[in-house]
Amino acid sequence: PAHFQCPVALDWLVNPVITPSGITYSQAELELWVRENGTDPVARSHLAMSEVIPNLAIATAVHYHR
């Protein structure tokens, strides 16, 4: 389902993390994006990985849905 898809990788969320803007990404994809751009890929606001937290609810849902 689209709600389990990383907006950067366009694939299943892997180790999902959530940004202050409320958007969930795959951790590795987001780390790469932030390292190269310094922003949230969708919201385009400044972002540091220290502001990101694991999205445990989505991780559990993805685990049981796959």
**What are the boundaries of each domain within the chain?**
2-65
Structure pTM? 0.93
Class of the domain covering 2-65: alpha beta
Longest dimension (CA), the chain: 33
pLDDT at 20: 97
Nearest to 53 by CA among 12, 24, 32, 28: 24
For 54-64, the pLDDT digits (tens) are: 999 999 999 99
